[in-house]
Amino acid sequence: MNTIINDNPLRQGMRLKRLPQPCTLIILGATGDLTKRKLIPALFSLFKQELLPQQFRIIAFARRPKTTADFVADMRQGLQEFAGIAVNDRQAEQFLALLHYHQGDFTEIEPHRQLAGVLQRYEAENGVPANRLFYLATPPSQYEAIVQNLGAAGLANSNNGWTRIIIEKPFGHDLASAMQLSGVVGGVFREEQIYRIDHYLGKETVQNILVFRFANGIFEPVWNRRYIDHVQITVAETLGVEGRGRFYEETGIIRDIMQNHILQLFSLFAMEPPAAFDATAVRDEKVKVLKAVKPLSPEDIDRKIVYGQYAAGSLLGKDLSGYLQEEGVAPDSITATYIAMKLYIDNWRWAGVPFYLRAGKRLPKRVTEIAIQFREAPLQIFGVAARDEIAANVLTLKIQPDEGISLKFDSKVPGPGGNIRPVTMDFRYGTSFGETPPDAYERLLLDAMIGDSTLFTRADENERAWEIITPALEHGQKLSVLPQYSAGSWGPAEAEELLKRDRRAWRRL
Ligand code: BG6
């Protein structure tokens, strides 16, 4: 019998259980929303699937005075709310017993030294290697202090095991601060220890972009300027800023979604085939395509970008206030909650193909997708009269919430009339695999424990993404008012104009 040894993590992930070595996860900023809402439910799900190592422990490190029992009670309540567990769930209690609370101020070295002591004692008592995964779930303003204190407390390396650090987005506030942060983190940790997380890369449907493109032979030949008219990438949310007004004032849609989530979708979609499915080859190709993006020039930026801010409106019968009325938002704020932007890639595959990217809060529907509109057939032998509706061929990669892929093409309407109408061919994850995809954080936490950084952002990739959006950020700051759109609508009228000028239209979703 032939044994195929396969190092491909995606394949292994599908076929085999990938088990990490014994390790300790240290969540810094563990009393924040992310831990309760995302990290603990994802870890609990891995625990239930027996994907966590036998000897595993979670240290929750935060400033608030709490006991381990208090913290466990908070997380139990979080699991009830976000993972739907029942009261007295036996598995949940076994999982919660892995938690330990460590109190301290991130700006001081001492709590980090004490943490080193806690880790060493635990590792010695249990005879486990010093494998440590730090997760920075604090506000980004604390990253530098934490990294320096971890270094000063001797926690950047261990003699007997590996040390890795996961850093939540946003990694930097602009190009200069991203480079500064890279310098600080890079002064303490080596690049291969650093895992910059963008949770979009953990989504099954996002990983499937690569499988769809490179595991199938039939799509790659048409994946270029000869066949594709244009591409639309949409990240639409019904949510507003959800009580995070102050955070959003500093962030805005460009930093929150465009710099990371959308540019990740964009680069996976447009990159060249990597020579292998590994962290270096995949990320090299992503950087290459980001480098080929044509810079937005000050002369025509007005014609390539539309900003927007939601005003009061209504959604599903509910009245919603405008962004300026949200708590923590300045009454004259020019923070964008919507952006639409046109980019070109200057390379042989994509020259001349517009990529229309849009993201917005308080839009009518939650939907993330990449839609590829193909060129028309060279000759319309059926004539326009035969068509009930003019429609191009569109291939849609549906990232969420109706995960799947669909292809729209023309078909003959049954009957003697010879009419033509577009129909769709659909693949749905739920129907084909009988399950809904796991949460993105499960995959990413597991990969970081295993030491696979393919689905994490490299420093050069992150910096290139900042470079692409810097002109958009700078231009936005010069505006005194932003185009408004009613909450619950598809964005400002100016966004429609952006495509109309090119004789195209946004998809109606
Ligand atoms: C986060 C942003 O990164 O992504 C949020 O900070 C946004 O503002 C969220 O709501 C969207 O993620 P998802 O997985 O719901 O599409």
**Which residue ranges does the chain devote to CATH 3.40.50.720?**
9-168
CB 422 within 8 Å of CB 408 = yes
User: What's the rounded Cα separation, in Å, for the pair 448 and 465?
Assistant: 22
Rounded distance from Cα 124 to ligand 1 centre (Å): 40
Omega prior to 170 cis, within 30 of 0: yes
CB 475 within 8 Å of CB 486 = no
User: What's the rounded Cα separation, in Å, for the pair 133 and 24?
Assistant: 6
* HEC sequence for 457-508: ECHHHHHHHHHHHHHHHHHHHHCCCCCEEECCCCCCHHHHHHHHCCCCCCCC
Q: How far is CA 131 from the centre of its chain?
A: 26
Looking at residue 13, its pLDDT comes to 45
Tokens 């494998």, located at residue: 131
Element spanning 289, H or E? helix 279-291
Residue 177 tokens, joined: 């601060």
Closest CA to 91 of 74, 76, 81, 77: 76
Q: Is the CB of 237 under 6 A from ligand 1?
A: yes
Residue 92 tokens, joined: 């949940």
Looking at residue 3, its pLDDT comes to 37
Q: How far is CA 282 from the centre of its chain?
A: 16
CB 109 within 8 Å of CB 148 = no
Catalytic (active site) residue 475: no
Of ligand 1's atoms, which has the minimum distance to the CA of residue 251? Answer: 6
Of ligand 1's atoms, which has the minimum distance to the CA of residue 400? Answer: 16
Closest CA to 33 of 194, 249, 244: 244
In three-state secondary structure terms, 132 is strand
Q: Is the CB of 377 under 6 A from ligand 1?
A: no
Looking at residue 381, its pLDDT comes to 84
CB 46 within 8 Å of CB 442 = yes
Q: Is the CB of 401 under 6 A from ligand 1?
A: no
Looking at residue 204, its pLDDT comes to 93
| Choice among 199, 230, 261, 475 that is catalytic | 261
Q: Is the CB of 479 under 6 A from ligand 1?
A: no
Rounded distance from Cα 40 to ligand 1 centre (Å): 17
User: What's the rounded Cα separation, in Å, for the pair 301 and 76?
Assistant: 49
In three-state secondary structure terms, 206 is helix
Which residues pair with residue 406 across a beta bridge? 396, 426
DSSP label at residue 326:
S
Residue minimizing CA distance to atom 13 of ligand 1: 200
Cβ-count burial 219-253 (b if 16+ within 10 Å, e if not): eeeebeeeebbbbbbbbbbbebbeebbeebbebbb
Please name the fold of domain 9-168. Rossmann fold (3.40.50)
What is the gyration radius of the CA atoms in the chain, in angstroms? Answer: 24
Residue minimizing CA distance to atom 2 of ligand 1: 256
Q: What is the torsion angle, in degrees rounded to the nearest 10, for the CA atoms of residue 455, residue 339, residue 406 and residue 202? A: 20
Mutate to test the pocket of ligand 1, among 261, 436, 441 (most ligand atoms within 8 A of CB): 261
User: What's the rounded Cα separation, in Å, for the pair 340 and 234?
Assistant: 9
**CA dihedral sign of residues 212, 217, 218, 223:** positive
Centre a 10 Å sphere on the Cβ of residue 184 and count the other Cβ atoms it contains.
15
Q: How far is CA 453 from the centre of its chain?
A: 15
Rounded distance from Cα 239 to ligand 1 centre (Å): 9
Residue 215 tokens, joined: 């595991």
Mutate to test the pocket of ligand 1, among 168, 199, 235, 255 (most ligand atoms within 8 A of CB): 199
User: What's the rounded Cα separation, in Å, for the pair 274 and 280?
Assistant: 9
DSSP label at residue 333:
-
Rounded distance from Cα 205 to ligand 1 centre (Å): 15
pLDDT in tens, the chain (509 residues): 333 344 444 444 444 567 899 999 999 999 999 999 999 999 999 999 999 999 999 999 999 999 999 999 999 999 999 998 988 899 999 999 999 999 999 999 999 999 999 999 999 999 999 999 999 999 999 999 999 999 999 999 988 999 999 999 989 999 999 999 999 999 999 999 999 999 999 999 999 999 999 999 999 999 999 999 999 999 999 999 988 898 899 899 999 999 999 999 999 999 999 999 999 999 999 999 999 999 999 888 999 999 999 999 999 999 999 999 999 999 999 999 999 999 999 999 999 999 999 999 999 999 999 999 999 988 888 877 766 666 789 999 999 999 999 999 999 999 888 888 999 999 999 899 988 888 999 999 999 999 999 999 999 999 999 999 999 999 999 999 999 999 999 999 999 999 999 999 999 99
- In words, the CATH class of domain 202-373+454-500 is alpha beta
Looking at residue 12, its pLDDT comes to 45
Rounded distance from Cα 312 to ligand 1 centre (Å): 22
Looking at residue 388, its pLDDT comes to 61
**Which residue ranges does the chain devote to CATH 3.30.360.10?**
202-373+454-500
Q: Is the CB of 243 under 6 A from ligand 1?
A: no
Rounded distance from Cα 321 to ligand 1 centre (Å): 20
Residue 149 φ then ψ, to 5°: -70, -35
Q: What share of the chain is helix, strand, coil (3-state, %, to 5)?
A: 40, 20, 40
User: What's the rounded Cα separation, in Å, for the pair 395 and 399?
Assistant: 13
In three-state secondary structure terms, 108 is coil
Of ligand 1's atoms, which has the minimum distance to the CA of residue 235? Answer: 16
